[in-house]
Amino acid sequence: MTFLRGASLTTASTLGYADTADLGPTAGSGFRTRWPDDLAVLQEAGVTDVQFTLDWARLQPKPNEFDADWAEWFEQILQAADAIGVRPWACLHDGAIPRWFDNDGGLGDDTAFELWWPRWVERAADRFGDLVGGWVPFAQIPSGGTEQPWIDTWGILAGGPPVIAAIDLQTRGSSVEQFAQRADLIGAVLSAEWSGSSAVDERAIVEVVDRWGNELRDAADDIDNPLAVVGFSAGHPDPDASGDIVGAWRSMLDSAVGDGVPIEIAFVEPAIAGPDSLPGLLDADRAPTPSSAAFLAD
């Protein structure tokens, strides 16, 4: 038994943030025009699933407006992935929000969050729900504030394609059980920061990867939901060091699954390196990286 191997096509590493977003505009990786070839290369490399962000700022540049051209473009992506046997998972927030929503208070304002977020989820579900194989509403569910946005999210999406609640297991603690009641899978957000820009001490890698493994095993002991790993990044700017980290992480996942930890799928971020991103499975020229070899090898 093994886990499915996914890749995250984030807004930052594909289109870049829009000029209608609170973080925009930023440069993309060329995915806007290269996406048919990019999907094909990922599929040929061994990627089974893609997590693709439906960019809220582009699709809803104004509070009561839905951009038809962008909606059609995103539909093409989802349909094309499915056509080549790659399951598309839709993410609804991976960093940026529409500028109009930020001006109204954004994620930090409970009133604005609880008003506008469920409207966005409903709109996205109505337009794209028949095209997605699963949902990752938040690349990481925001900490603090009320849980109402997630309750609303689950109320809208439950009963359709599987929904992943993406949380940081290290900081969430016992609240994992609360999300487990309103999610099909619990998604672990695993991350680390490394000093330096070249090699990483092997002992440091082992220490971090062991911590990740313990977090996954503890979660499996506490809940009945299957697990996913979402938004995993090696977190290091050097491609070779990233490959070493991903290799150790992959070995840990294989070991955990072999011991019965119910990890169904793991996503690596980014799928394709953008101009300002850390190394991905593919570099900016779409060539496989050491991370790709470590993650996708049989």
What are the chain's domains? 4-296 (3.20.20.80)
Q: What is the dihedral of CA 290, 291, 294, 295, to 10 degrees?
A: -150
In the structure encoding, which two tokens stand for residue 255, read together?
């070991």
Q: Does the pLDDT value for residue 5 go beyond 70? A: yes
Write out pLDDT tens, residues 26-85: 999 999 999 999 999 999 999 999 999 999 999 999 998 999 999 999 999 999 999 999
Q: What is the dihedral of CA 95, 100, 109, 162, to 10 degrees?
A: -50
Report strand pairing: 164-167 vs 134-138: unpaired
State the pLDDT at residue 174. Answer: 62
State the pLDDT at residue 197. Answer: 66
User: DSSP letter string over the chain?
Assistant: ---EEEEEE-TTTTT---TTBTT------SHHHHHHHHHHHHHHHT--EEEEE--HHHH-SSTT---HHHHHHHHHHHHHHHHTT-EEEEEEESS--BHHHHHTTGGG-HHHHHHHHHHHHHHHHHHHTTT-SEEEEESSPPPSS-SHHHHHHHHHHTTSS-BEEEE-HHHHGGGHHHHHTT-SEEEEE-----SSSS---HHHHHHHHHHHHHHHHHHHHH-SS-EEEEEE----SSHHHHHHHHHHHHHHHHHHHHTT--EEEEEES-SB--TTSPP-SB-TTS-B-HHHHHHH--
Distance CA 215, CA 252 (A): 12
- Percent of the chain's residues with pLDDT above 90: 85
Q: What is the rounded average pLDDT for all residues in the chain? A: 94
Give the CB-side neighbour count of residue 12, counting CA atoms within 13 A.
Answer: 19
Phi/psi for 282 (5° steps) reads -120, 145
